[in-house]
Amino acid sequence: MTNLIDGKIIAASLRADVTEAVNTLKSAYNYAPTLAVVLVGDDPASQVYVRSKHKFTKEAGMGSLEHQLPEDVSEQTLIDLIKNLNGDDSVDGILVQLPLPGRIDTDRVIGVIDPAKDVDGLTEISAGRLSLGRGGLRPCTPEGCVILAKSALADGDSLSGKHCVIVGRSILVGKPAAFLFLEQNCTVTIAHSRTKNLADICRSADILVAAVGRPLMIKGDWIKKGAIVIDVGINRVAIDQHNKHDNPKAKRKTKLVGDVDFAAAVKHAAAITPVPGGVGPMTIACLLRNTVLAACARRNMTMPDKL
């Protein structure tokens, strides 16, 4: 029987560890870390995500700052805000909610963030430290993938020596995930939508990470019997394709699906993440953890044992 990797439960456990760590810092240093989130525009999905970050940050006992800027804000105004947050000693972590409007140079904006406060691990310095195997703040979603993969292992087992195939080469998930699984001593293959014999490569994976952004692209028979499947994809698709023909003005019903054909994959995988409820909750939990790690590093505070 396929084991469902419940990201909600695992994320709740990590958030509990973060809360305990924050309480330790309050007792030892009379200090609680603070996370600042910057949101540009009024995209509904981004707003929901930012609200969740605020909610869980407060529940963990940390400070939470929100800066919501209008859709037409100038790139320079956004950069000036980030520079101010860099210089604000009360702020330990800075996160710019992506995506930004197309007219704004995302790389330039992210590049302004102080690497010591880069809790999403996206600056060039953070990426460089990861690629060199040095300490630092790790990207939240890829780190969540590693934690979920570990959770699916039998007691006493490890990721060491396992073949991890990552389908997707983005700088947000695919590439950093490759380095993180390498840190766990996995043998890593990065594939993508243009990879030849992609199905055969996927079938060779002990751990298959799908992060290509195409709904249901990974078929059930692409998965080796007993593999662990981590589905990063989150795609909104229509439930009933006939509605647009019968009544073009009718509101289309949609649902969220991953990059993996879940219904077919459960016939092969030993363990798999659902969509939603798999990787998503881990991203926020890892963000909270990174904020605590950043605060401890910046302030020379002893890292709580829980983290």
Query: Tell me, what's the pLDDT at 190?
Result: 98
Alpha-carbon span 231 to 220, nearest angstrom: 13
* Contact criterion met (CB below 8 Å) for 177 and 145: yes
Can you spell out the DSSP letters for 34-86? EEEEEEES--HHHHHHHHHHHHHHHHTT-EEEEEEE-TT--HHHHHHHHHHHH
Q: From residue 124, give the alpha-carbon distance in Å to each of 85, 115, 134.
A: 18, 8, 13
In a domain, 3, yes or no: no
Q: Are residues 276 and 148 in the same domain?
A: yes
- Residue 300 domain-assigned (yes or no): no
- The answer to whether 49 touches 91, Cβ cutoff 8 Å, is no
What CATH number should be reported for the domain holding residue 255?
A: 3.40.50.720
Domain check: are 251 and 149 in the same one?
yes
Instruction: Give the CA diameter of the chain.
Output: 65
Its pTM stands at: 0.93
Q: What percent of the chain has pLDDT over 70?
A: 96
pLDDT of 133 reads: 93
Residues 106 and 145 in one domain: no
- What was the pLDDT predicted at 27? 97
Q: Which helix (H) or strand (E) holds 295?
A: helix 279-299
Whether residue 276 has a cis bond before it, omega within 30° of 0: yes
Structural domain containing residue 78: 27-120
pLDDT digits (tens, 9 = 90+) for 7-54: 999 999 999 999 999 999 999 999 999 999 999 998 888 898 899 999
- Structural domains in the chain (count): 2
Residues 92, 38, single domain; the answer is yes
Q: Is the confidence at residue 270, as pLDDT, over 80?
A: yes
Among candidate residues 269, 204, 270, 261, the one with its CA nearest the CA of residue 233: 261
Same-domain check for residues 146 and 266: yes
C-alpha distances out from residue 160 to 24, 29, 208, 215, Å: 32, 37, 15, 30
**What integer pLDDT is reported at residue 45 of this predicted model?**
84
* pLDDT tens digits, one per residue of 100-141: 999 999 999 999 999 999 999 999 999 999 999 999 999 999
pLDDT range class, residue 305, cuts 50, 70, 90:
confident
pLDDT bucket at 300, cuts 50 / 70 / 90: very high
In-domain check, residue 130:
no
**Residue-wise pLDDT tens digits, 206-265:** 999 999 999 999 999 999 999 999 999 999 899 865 455 556 656 678 999 999 999 999
| In a shared domain, residues 276 and 145 | yes
Decide: 165 and 208 in contact? Cβ < 8 Å: yes
The angle formed by the CA atoms of residues 284, 286 and 287, to the nearest 5 degrees, is 60
Phi-psi region of 156 (alpha: psi -120 to 50; beta: other; left: phi over 0): left
Tell me: do 66 and 190 sit in the same domain.
no
pLDDT of residue 249: 59
pLDDT of residue 245: 54
* Same domain, residue pair 115 and 183: no
Whether residues 90 and 144 share a domain: the answer is no
Average confidence (pLDDT) over 58-65: 98
Regarding whether 59 and 155 lie in a shared domain, the answer is no
pLDDT digits (tens, 9 = 90+) for 195-204: 999 999 999 9
Residues 230, 149: contact at Cβ < 8 Å? yes
CATH of the domain at 91: 3.40.50.10860
Residues 158 and 276 in one domain: yes
Active site residues: 53, 97, 120
Residue 1 within a domain: no
Residue 2 lies in a domain: no
- Classified as helix, coil or strand, 253 is coil
For residues 15 and 23, what is the distance between their CA atoms, to the nearest angstrom? 12
Q: Stretch 65-77: mean pLDDT, rounded?
A: 97
Assess if residue 288 is contained within a domain: no
C-alpha separations of 77 from 73, 84, 98, 173, 276 in Å = 7, 11, 17, 28, 35
Q: Are residues 160 and 251 in the same domain?
A: yes
